Amino acid sequence: MATVTDGTFAAEVLAAGVPVLVEFTASWCPPCRMIAPVLAEIAREEAHRLKVVELDVDENPRTTAAYGVLSMPTLMVFRAGEPVRSMVGARPKRRLMEEIADVL
């Protein structure tokens, strides 16, 4: 799973040719640590149709504020440079895949 920053967000997420699942995360966030293995697994299994990245909210306040992220983890799917789905909190892989199936 790749890491993006305020500086790389536009190129890595907004300009991506496939949908991108962004995890807005923080090192101090227990639910973020819980969902990390789920996201890593999805990144491996769905690499042909979905890019998965993480953005540390403490180190990247500009992007965090731009998308109104207040809770961690916030999972946001971007397609063609626009956010098309937003979810807050950790969840099991099956539920997450069901929630994003229609935007892939």
- Cα dist from 76 to 16, 84, 85, whole Å: 14, 8, 6
Is residue 32 flagged as an active site residue? yes
- Residue type, position 97, single letter: M
Annotated catalytic residue within 13, 21, 22, 32: 32
Is 27 marked active-site? no
Question: With contact defined as beta carbons under 8 Å apart, do 24 and 69 qualify?
Answer: yes
82-88 sheet: strands from edge to edge: 2-3, 51-56, 20-25, 74-79, 82-88
Q: Which of 20, 22, 29, 53 is catalytic?
A: 29
Residue positions annotated with a catalytic role? 29, 32
